[in-house]
């Protein structure tokens, strides 16, 4: 048995220790917002927050996250920074197919929680690990800039 705290709720899961958090979330807990894209931490579609830090769930064994706070895209609407990022995404029509965008938003939100007003170089570097096959990168950049804390950057 593995005990996980996901979006503030405790879950007891009967899964092997080495099962990646991604599959525990999707197939066992039933939270489908975290996506499978590559399985080798190369695309970022599975990005979640572990104690606030952006983490690739596809290569993170469940046993290693016991006792840590797992946060998924499903909880972002209730998070002040997360909602601001989501709203910027909507305002600028970032998404095309949308499959990668949960992971993009999780990564962007973690970035903005660490740096309220990152410069564009920091944004590019932070987002380089999140693939979007539809090619929405220019809008992703613009949306993150829109979601930065204007008071901090002023």
Minimum CB distance to other proteins smaller for 42 or for 153? 42
Minimum CB distance to other proteins smaller for 23 or for 118? 23
Shortest Cβ 74–other proteins spacing (Å):
5
Minimum CB distance to other proteins smaller for 69 or for 131? 131
d(CA 72, CA 84): 16
Shortest Cβ 136–other proteins spacing (Å):
6
SS (H, E, C) the chain: CEEEEECCEEEEECCCCCCEHHHHHHHHHCCCCCCCCCCCCCCCCCEEEECCEEEEHHHCEHHHHCCCEEECHHHHHHCHHHHHHHHHHHHCCCCCCCCCHHHHHHHHHHHHHHCCCCCHHHHHHHHCCCCCCCCCHHHHHHHHHHHCCHHHHC
Shortest Cβ 12–other proteins spacing (Å):
16
Interaction site with other proteins (CB under 8 A): 15-16, 19-20, 23, 26-28, 30-40, 42-43, 45, 72-74, 76-77, 86, 89-93, 95-102, 105, 124, 127-142
Shortest Cβ 130–other proteins spacing (Å):
7
Minimum CB distance to other proteins smaller for 74 or for 149? 74
Shortest Cβ 16–other proteins spacing (Å):
6
């Amino acid at each position: 048995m593995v005990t996980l705290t996901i979006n503030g709720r405790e879950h007891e899961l009967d899964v092997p220790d080495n099962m990646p958090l991604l599959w525990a979330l999707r197939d066992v807990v039933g939270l489908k917002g975290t996506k499978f894209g590559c399985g080798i931490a190369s695309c970022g579609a599975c990005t979640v927050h572990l104690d606030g830090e952006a983490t690739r769930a596809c290569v993170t064994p469940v046993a290693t996250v016991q006792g840590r706070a797992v946060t998924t895209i499903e909880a972002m609407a209730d998070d002040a920074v997360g909602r601001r990022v989501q709203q910027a995404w909507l305002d600028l029509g970032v998404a095309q197919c949308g499959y990668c965008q949960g992971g993009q938003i999780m990564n962007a939100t973690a970035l903005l929680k660490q740096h309220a007003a990152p410069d564009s170089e920091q944004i590019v570097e932070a987002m380089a690990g999140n693939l979007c096959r539809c090619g929405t990168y220019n809008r992703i950049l613009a949306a993150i800039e829109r979601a930065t804390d204007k008071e901090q950057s002023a």
